[in-house]
Amino acid sequence: MLTVGLIGKTNAGKTTFFNAATLLNAKISNFPFTTKKPNTGTAYVCDICVCKELDLKDNPLNSTCIDGWRYVPVKLIDVPGLLKDAWRGRGLGNQFLSVIGQADALIHVVDASGSIDAEGKISQPGSGNPVQDAIDVEMELYRWIAEIIMHNRQFIIRESSSSSLEDAIARSLSGIKANTSSISKALAKSRLTEVAFAKWTLDQTIKFAAFLLPLTKPTLIIANKMDILTSENYLGMLTQYYGRSLVAACSAEAELVLRRAEKMGLLQYTPGQEKFRIKENAKLTAKQQGALNYIETRVMAKWMRTGIQQALNTVVLKLLKSNMIFPVSDESKYTDHHGNVLPDVYLMPEGSTPVDLAREVHTTLLKNYVLSVDAKTGIRLPKDYHLRHRDVVKIVTRSKPRKRR
Ligand SMILES: Nc1nc2c(ncn2[C@@H]2O[C@H](COP(=O)(O)OP(=O)(O)OP(=O)(O)O)[C@@H](O)[C@H]2O)c(=O)[nH]1
Ligand SMILES: [Mg+2]
C-alpha cells in the first residue's frame, strides 16, 4: 500500500489532518509537541470509478465506491512536529524522522494563518511567518539526509571503489527509499559530479540532499487553517515561493468537524464534496450549529471545500503519478471469480506494465502469467504496455497442471 507521511512544524495541524482523513482519534491540542509517537492509519484517495462509464453496479472489495467515486486506501503516518534545529535534538521530531523514510510521498502541513511562534506556541494570527516555517522544516530534512551521508562517509568511499558512487549512496540511503536514478539526477543538479565525494563539505552535502529530497519524496505543501482570515495573504506567499501546483489550501479542522458530524448522523457529507447538508431530523446544539455556520461561511463559501480529499488525491494521483487499475477475471462481465463486479483497484506507478500489475495482485498470477487483455476493448495488451488511469485488465494465466492419478 502506498504510504504518505505528514510532516510540519509543531501545532501546524498534522494530527487534525490525520484524524480528519482517517477518522481516528489521535490527540490534538494547541500545546507544542502534542504528538509524542507516530500515528498510523488508513486514508483514501478518490477519483471517478469506471462503473459510471461502463454503466455497471459494482461490488468493491479492497476499496469503496460512493456515488460513482472510487475511494482507494493509502497508509497515512503522522509524526511529532519539527522545529528549527530538530536535527540537533530540539523538540521531538528528530527521533522520528526515520519513520518518514518509509513514506512514498509527503504532505507538509504549514499553519498558513501565521499563528505559531519560534518556540512552536500558538500566538496572534499574522504574527508568524509561514514561508519561513516551511523553509525551516525542509532544512531539517536536508540536514537529516546530510547527516546520514556524512555518517556513512567511509562506507560510501569504500563501496564506490568497487561500484558507482550512485549505487554506494543509494545503499546508505535505502532507509529513505532513494534510488540510483534520483541520486544521479541530484548529483547532476547540485553539480557535485565535478567534486570528489571524499572532499564534499557539509554545505555541499546539504545542497545535494536539497535536490534529492523532492525526487525521493514528492511533497505537497498544505496551507492549513484557511478558515482564519490572515491565511489568505500567506497562501499567496506560499504559492509564489513553491508554485501553484505544489500548494493546496485546506482547513483540516473544518474537515474533522464535518466528518465527525456525518458519522454521528447529523449531516450528509462525502469527503471532497463542495456541500454538506444538515439532516432534517438532526437536533443540533447551539455550539454545533455555530461550528457549522462558521465552516459554511469561512470555508465552503470562500474556498469551495475543506481541501483535505483534494490534497490526498493530488499527492497520490498527480505528484506520485499513480494510476487506478482494475484487475478482473472475467473481462466480458468485469467480475472476479465470484461474480463481484469491479471488485478491486490498485494504485500503480506511472510506467507500470500488466506484468507489474500481476506481481502486485498475487505472486501466482505473476508466476503463471501468459498475457493480458484490455477488458473495455477486448484487445490483447503487449507485455510492455504502459497501464493507463482507469484501465480494466484481465490477466490470463496458465491453467494449473492436472494432478496425476
Ligand atoms: N482554526 C483552525 N485551527 C486548526 C486547524 N487545524 C488544526 N487546528 C488547531 O491547531 C492546533 C494544533 O493542531 P494539531 O493537529 O495538534 O497540530 P500538530 O501539527 O499535530 O502538532 P504537534 O503534534 O505538536 O506537532 C489545535 O488547536 C487545532 O485545533 C484548522 O484548519 N483551522
Ligand atoms: Mg500532532
Q: What is the mean pLDDT of residues 65-77?
A: 94
CB of 35 within 6 A of ligand 1: the answer is yes
**pLDDT at residue 33 in the model:** 82
Percent of the chain predicted with pLDDT > 90: 80
Q: How many Å lie between the centroid of ligand 2 and the Cα of residue 88?
A: 20
Whether the pLDDT of residue 321 is over 70: the answer is yes
**Average confidence score pLDDT of the chain:** 92
* pLDDT tens digits, one per residue of 246-268: 999 999 999 999 999 999 999 99
Q: What is the rounded distance in angstroms from the CA atom of residue 142 to the CA atom of residue 235? A: 24
Whether the pLDDT of residue 207 is over 70: the answer is yes
The more confident residue out of 280 and 378 is 378
Residue 90: pLDDT band with limits 50, 70, 90: low
Q: How many Å lie between the centroid of ligand 2 and the Cα of residue 76?
A: 13
CB of 190 within 6 A of ligand 1: the answer is no
Ligand nearest to the CA of 229: 1
**pLDDT at residue 247 in the model:** 97
Domains delineated in the chain? 3-247 (no CATH), 323-397 (3.10.20.30)
Q: Which of 131, 118, 174 is nearest to 149 (CA)?
A: 174
Q: Are 45 and 52 in contact (CB under 8 A)?
A: no
Whether the pLDDT of residue 327 is over 70: the answer is yes
Instruction: Identify which of 24, 28, 100, 123 to mutate to test ligand 1's pocket (most ligand atoms within 8 A of the CB).
Output: 28
Whether the pLDDT of residue 87 is over 80: the answer is no
Q: Burial of 177 by CB count in 10 Å (0-12 exposed, 13-18 middle, 19+ buried)? A: middle
Q: What is the mean pLDDT of residues 298-320?
A: 95
**Half-sphere exposure for 189 (CA within 13 Å, toward CB):** 17
By alpha-carbon position, which residue is closest to atom 30 of ligand 1? Answer: 225
Whether the pLDDT of residue 186 is over 90: the answer is yes
Whether the pLDDT of residue 3 is over 80: the answer is yes
Q: What is the rounded distance in angstroms from the CA atom of residue 405 to the CA atom of residue 402? A: 9
Return the axis-axis angle of helices 165-172 and 153-162, rounded to nearest 10°: 140
CB of 251 within 6 A of ligand 1: the answer is yes
**pLDDT at residue 403 in the model:** 59
Residue count of the chain, please give it. 405
SS3 of residue 196 by DSSP: coil
Whether the pLDDT of residue 139 is over 60: the answer is yes
Q: What is the rounded distance in angstroms from the CA atom of residue 165 to the CA atom of residue 4? A: 29
* pLDDT tens digits, one per residue of 151-176: 999 999 999 999 999 999 999 999 99
Which amino acid, one-letter code, is at 174?
S
**pLDDT at residue 85 in the model:** 74
Q: What is the mean pLDDT of residues 354-368?
A: 91
Q: What is the rounded distance in angstroms from the CA atom of residue 379 to the CA atom of residue 331? A: 11
Q: What is the rounded distance in angstroms from the CA atom of residue 196 to the CA atom of residue 200? A: 7
**pLDDT at residue 404 in the model:** 58
Q: What is the rounded distance in angstroms from the CA atom of residue 97 to the CA atom of residue 137? A: 11
Whether the pLDDT of residue 203 is over 60: the answer is yes
Q: What is the mean pLDDT of residues 86-109?
A: 80
User: How is residue 12 written as a grid cell?
Assistant: 501546524
Instruction: Identify which of 7, 11, 110, 133 to mutate to test ligand 1's pocket (most ligand atoms within 8 A of the CB).
Output: 11
By alpha-carbon position, which residue is closest to atom 13 of ligand 1? Answer: 13
SS3 of residue 41 by DSSP: strand
**pLDDT at residue 97 in the model:** 78
**pLDDT at residue 400 in the model:** 66
Residue 42: pLDDT band with limits 50, 70, 90: very high
Q: What is the rounded distance in angstroms from the CA atom of residue 112 to the CA atom of residue 242? A: 14
Q: Are 248 and 318 in contact (CB under 8 A)?
A: no
Q: How many Å lie between the centroid of ligand 2 and the Cα of residue 14?
A: 5
Q: Which of 180, 192, 190 is nearest to 211 (CA)?
A: 190
Which amino acid, one-letter code, is at 110?
V
Whether the pLDDT of residue 39 is over 60: the answer is yes
Q: What is the mean pLDDT of residues 188-193?
A: 93
Q: How many Å lie between the centroid of ligand 2 and the Cα of residue 20?
A: 12
Ligand nearest to the CA of 33: 1
Ligand nearest to the CA of 228: 1
CA distances for 99 relative to 1, 37, 39, 253, 376, angstroms: 16, 10, 10, 25, 41
Whether the pLDDT of residue 58 is over 60: the answer is yes
**pLDDT at residue 363 in the model:** 87
**pLDDT at residue 257 in the model:** 96
By alpha-carbon position, which residue is closest to atom 12 of ligand 1? Answer: 11
**pLDDT at residue 173 in the model:** 94
DSSP structure string for 150-171: HHTHHHHHHHHHHS-HHHHHHH
**pLDDT at residue 96 in the model:** 75
The more confident residue out of 222 and 398 is 222
Q: Which of 338, 271, 266, 290 is nearest to 61 (CA)?
A: 338
CB of 314 within 6 A of ligand 1: the answer is no
By alpha-carbon position, which residue is closest to atom 9 of ligand 1? Answer: 13
**pLDDT at residue 344 in the model:** 97
Q: What is the rounded distance in angstroms from the CA atom of residue 72 to the CA atom of residue 63? A: 5
**pLDDT at residue 100 in the model:** 87
CB of 58 within 6 A of ligand 1: the answer is no
Q: What is the rounded distance in angstroms from the CA atom of residue 106 to the CA atom of residue 193? A: 28
The pTM score is 0.93
Q: Which of 16, 38, 37, 72 is nearest to 312 (CA)?
A: 72
**pLDDT at residue 182 in the model:** 96
